Amino acid sequence: MYDRINLHHSMTIRNSIDCLLRTPKAHGWGENLFEKVIHRRFHTGITLHPNGMDDDSPTLDIKINPVKSEAGDYFHTLSIRKEARSHKVAITFLNQYLIPLLSTAETIDSVYISKDLTVLFQITVSLSHDLNLKGITELTDELPFEAKKRICIVFVVPDHETTMKPYKRQTIVALAGMPEDIVSKVVEYHQYVHYASMNEI
């Protein structure tokens, strides 16, 4: 019985997203619903193999562990160090799906950190989605040294006929006066895309 209820609920959400994506003026609503659904799906744990958007993109394997507490994955500041001034990430934050609460969320929707990789997720239904460099550096500046070794950006988009394939590399927008070395470093982050199957939502 519960399986039937869950199936009906999932089908209703899929149909709603499908309808909103087919209506240009409703894309904003569609994006909000899609983002919430992706957060819920990733909370339960998932393995991803996003497609690289650069010719030299290394293979990316992401294994997100299930969230133990519904409120445990939200953060105001990304204070994840093992201890004060440590270069290491506390083990409780590794392989978790973390969601920012402050203005950073306008640029980055969520974060994943493993022992050798930090992923910045942007969830969108748009074919073009520029990223604000300041929003990215607000997050990365808080990371301990080990979490800065390899940082990449993954766009999560619906595997829907309104989403053009292949998804192209997006622009990093920097404010005037930003140091050139910082701009270059962030622009060089590899970008990937994960097509979220509508059947798995």
Task: Work out the angle between the directed axes of helices 2-21 and 27-43 (0-180°, nearest 10).
Answer: 150
Q: Give pLDDT tens digits for 64-103.
A: 999 876 655 666 556 555 556 656 777 778 899 988 876 5
3-state secondary structure (DSSP) of residue 43: helix
Tokens representing 71? Answer: 């409120």
With a cut of 50, say whether residue 4 has pLDDT above it.
Answer: no
Q: Rounded to an integer, what distance in angstroms lies between the CA atom of residue 15 and that of residue 37?
A: 13
pLDDT score of 100: 80
Q: What is the pTM of this model?
A: 0.82
Q: Rounded to an integer, what distance in angstroms lies between the CA atom of residue 160 and that of residue 102?
A: 30
Q: pLDDT band at residue 45, thresholds of 50, 70 and 90?
A: very high
CA 143, 138, 111, 163 dihedral sign is negative
